[in-house]
Structure 1
Amino acid sequence: MRVSVPTIPAALLRDATSAQTISPAAAVERVADFLAPGNVALITGAGVSVDSGIRAYRGAKGRYLNPNYRPIFYHELMDETAKGVAYRKRYWLRSYLGYPPVRDALPNTTHFALAALQYRNVIPRLITQNVDGLHHKALAHVWDQPRLHERILELHGTLHKVNCNHGHATDRGIFQDMLSAANPQWKAFADELELTGKRPRTNPDGDVVLEGVSFDEFVIPDCPSCLEEGRRNSVHKPDVIFFGESISKEVKDRSFRDVEECDRLFLLGTTLATFSAFRLLRHALELKKPVLLLNVGPTRADGIPGVEKLEIPSNVVMRDAVRTLLSSQTIEDLTVEEMLRSGVNQPPPDDEDDTAPRSVG
């Protein structure tokens, strides 16, 4: 089986030139004007979560920050042979250490600005490629879980749930506790990382860079529900779409409906390298929807007729754009005003030239 990692076509990266600069004030005005008619569908990518301390896979030049990036593939993780066991040991040890920073991350100013737009129904449909749950966190104090599920579609799943290969679901926090109980030596190591704050470099899928260790002794616990059914089974995966895995028909169909039911499409912090997101852009263009893309660096949509692109960081624009758009409501609506005062600004260290050859997952 040959499965490739989606990326921006080499020709686009090779031919990329410096985008036309736009002032923050002009960008704020343009975004506010674009969103003003309402009924906007939004697609977000990893760039939205950078200010929460979660790294993007690609830097400002559109290339992977780790040029030797090689994720684990779905068929490898779910392989029931000895080879698959080795893949799972490596994945779950690295994910065990990498999940806490994602779990503890807080919504940034962009998340809360978007939450205000969702709350006021300017953006009734949000589709995110991110698996960190930060859009949910920004709205959890005003919306219950059914409402969050109705209004936010996690295109690539979530890190906060784990499924065994027989379909039993486990909360990620509970699964972390199971991993801790089965691996006390790594629990002690994780506790030390928490105390010192010297966490390994973390990727947006909760995986960490971890070199020079043996994965052989890491224990993956059996699924409790499978044990109750009389079988031992330690084949687990997070509720995330891995490379080589298909998005469910339900999620795919819903993503297309979200685009069809909107009047315009806003793309934020995404290079559209994955086809699952890029095909939604193509669908919007086929339906003659206005499209605005805000991202720093090359994207798969660059040069496509019908796509207007602003090259400027979201944290420079979004809060002021929402204030401009909802100016009268922020005075009357204390919830909106609180959202527009909320959000962290904690980007990861500026060490994007991570050239060490290593595999991810």
Structure 2
Amino acid sequence: MRVSVPTIPHAVTTASSKPISPAVAVERIVDFLSSGSVTLLTGAGVSVDSGIRAYRGKDGRYMNPNYQYYHELVDRSPKGHMFRHASPCLLRSYLGYPPVRDALPNTTHCALAALQYTSHISRLITQNVDGLHRKAIAHVWHDNLINERMLELHGSLHRVHCNHGHVVDRNTFQDWISAHNPYWKDYVTGLEATGMKPRTNPDGDVELEGVSYDDFVIPECPQCVLEGRHNTNQKPTVIFFGESIPTIVRNRSFHDVERSDRLFVVGTTLATFSAFRLVQHAVKLGKPVLLLNMGATRGDGLPGVEKIEIPASYVIRDVARTILGTRATADPVIVDLLNKGIYDPPSDR
């Protein structure tokens, strides 16, 4: 399954839905989550309140014109080598990673974590590469349990790998880039000192104007050097457009849908087929699907799919409190989760 540039048919983006009150939305979601095991599928809309922009504007238009294709980044020919060194992709990612790294889970992440902790959500599949779902529950669950119950469908910004499979922590890779690019290190330090943040997309890319990338140096993979080869072919462990999702991840995503009774979809337009196909799979298996998203989604009008259009931050915490009842005030772990989370949407959302 290759990831292509997200698109939504115009007829879908221009469709309208009926308004719904938060109270009615909470009641419907509570009823849905209270009936059998549930797999949750999330997208960029969940992270907007953490200050990370969604992929799409209000008109449904894809907002990042700087995307690059996988084959351009990994081409082993001299042409590919020239492209990587002339391409600003890694530099933009270097500049855009700190805001994502420092982002905090919002109220929706934390309320969903409470429902994960109590097994009302049995499996979570996220398209997001920001790691915020993991961060929301990391103090409650150990890594093995997180990896068992949570799947990052499109990878993670927090790791980098070379084309020979050597993986490194993202902070270490950032240090490598800083060591090779003192000018850009100073540039980032200056941004942080003034509190300025570049306009960052959910994939860690940024938008900069009037900037020259000619002097940017891509560091070599140290492990490859030890093995006797020179290799600057490195990228974040994120699925790029034109890249295939690993078979083990694809199969796991379908299996997570199959092993649950229902599919709850939050904060995604389903424009990427890797996510939309999971909804199609649930429908094919006769499993109820509930969408919670502001704006049009590719799943709108699909037989067997119900849609609620209201911001998740308006309802999810109340949903969790209603479902959990007295545990919401008696269990210290749940109390902590339901009182955590920031609300800091980007000003240009």
Which of residues 258, 263, 273 in structure 2 aligns to 1:260? 258
Alignment-derived partner of residue 102 in structure 2: 104
The Cα shift of 1:83 comes to 4.7
240-249 or 143-152, larger mean C-alpha shift: 143-152
Normalization by structure 1: what TM-score? 0.93
- Rounded to whole Å, the distance in 1 between the matches of 2:66 and 2:218 is 23
- Rounded to whole Å, the distance in 1 between the matches of 2:248 and 2:52 is 28
The Cα shift of 1:129 comes to 0.2
Alignment-derived partner of residue 11 in structure 1: 11
Which of residues 60, 74, 88 in structure 1 aligns to 2:70? 74
After superposition, what is the alpha-carbon deviation per residue over 1:301-325, rounded to whole angstroms, capped at 9, x for unaligned? Answer: 1111111000000000100011001
Which of residues 98, 111, 116 in structure 2 aligns to 1:113? 111
After superposition, what is the alpha-carbon deviation per residue over 1:87-120, rounded to whole angstroms, capped at 9, x for unaligned? Answer: 4541111111100000000000000010001000
CA contact (8 A) 1:61 1:298 kept: no
Q: How does 1:314-329 map to 2 (within 5 A)?
A: 314-329=312-327
The Cα shift of 1:217 comes to 1.2
The Cα shift of 1:56 comes to 0.4
CA contact (8 A) 1:86 1:216 kept: no
CA contact (8 A) 1:156 1:247 kept: yes
The Cα shift of 1:239 comes to 0.4
- Rounded to whole Å, the distance in 2 between the matches of 1:4 and 1:146 is 31
CA contact (8 A) 2:74 2:80 kept: no
> 2:27 aligned with 1:64, yes or no?
no
The Cα shift of 1:60 comes to 3.0
Alignment-derived partner of residue 231 in structure 1: 229
> 2:267 aligned with 1:269, yes or no?
yes
The Cα shift of 1:281 comes to 0.3
The Cα shift of 1:84 comes to 4.3
SS of the residue 1:292 aligns to: strand
> 2:238 aligned with 1:240, yes or no?
yes
Which of residues 69, 81, 86 in structure 1 aligns to 2:83? 86
Letter in 1 for 2:269: T
SS of the residue 1:270 aligns to: coil
Letter in 1 for 2:83: A
Q: How does 1:304-319 map to 2 (within 5 A)?
A: 304-319=302-317
- Rounded to whole Å, the distance in 2 between the matches of 1:210 and 1:77 is 20
- Rounded to whole Å, the distance in 2 between the matches of 1:17 and 1:339 is 36
CA contact (8 A) 2:43 2:267 kept: yes
Q: 1:227 to 1:83 in 2, by over 3 A?
A: closer
Aligned length: 346
- Rounded to whole Å, the distance in 2 between the matches of 1:129 and 1:289 is 21
After superposition, what is the alpha-carbon deviation per residue over 1:253-279, rounded to whole angstroms, capped at 9, x for unaligned? Answer: 000000000000000000000000000
CA contact (8 A) 2:73 2:80 kept: no
CA contact (8 A) 2:265 2:292 kept: yes
Alignment-derived partner of residue 215 in structure 2: 217
The Cα shift of 1:4 comes to 5.2
SS of the residue 2:236 aligns to: strand
- Rounded to whole Å, the distance in 2 between the matches of 1:337 and 1:320 is 13
Alignment-derived partner of residue 191 in structure 2: 193
- Gapped regions of structure 2 (runs ≥ 5): none
Q: 1:23 to 1:39 in 2, by over 3 A?
A: same
After superposition, what is the alpha-carbon deviation per residue over 1:275-296, rounded to whole angstroms, capped at 9, x for unaligned? Answer: 0000000000011001100000
The Cα shift of 1:126 comes to 0.2
Letter in 2 for 1:76: E
- Rounded to whole Å, the distance in 2 between the matches of 1:51 and 1:199 is 16
- Rounded to whole Å, the distance in 1 between the matches of 2:224 and 2:143 is 27
Alignment-derived partner of residue 39 in structure 2: 41
- Rounded to whole Å, the distance in 2 between the matches of 1:70 and 1:5 is 11
Which of residues 279, 282, 295 in structure 1 aligns to 2:280? 282
SS of the residue 1:315 aligns to: helix
Q: 1:62 to 1:202 in 2, by over 3 A?
A: same
After superposition, what is the alpha-carbon deviation per residue over 1:11-52, rounded to whole angstroms, capped at 9, x for unaligned? Answer: 322xx3331000011111111111012410000000000000
After superposition, what is the alpha-carbon deviation per residue over 1:145-183, rounded to whole angstroms, capped at 9, x for unaligned? Answer: 111111110000000000001110010000000000000
CA contact (8 A) 1:271 1:295 kept: yes
SS of the residue 2:254 aligns to: helix
- Gapped regions of structure 1 (runs ≥ 5): 353-361
- Rounded to whole Å, the distance in 2 between the matches of 1:200 and 1:119 is 35
- Rounded to whole Å, the distance in 2 between the matches of 1:113 and 1:331 is 13
SS of the residue 1:280 aligns to: helix
Alignment-derived partner of residue 342 in structure 2: 344
Normalization by structure 2: what TM-score? 0.96
Letter in 2 for 1:9: P
Name the % identity. Answer: 63
Alignment-derived partner of residue 357 in structure 1: none
The Cα shift of 1:341 comes to 0.5
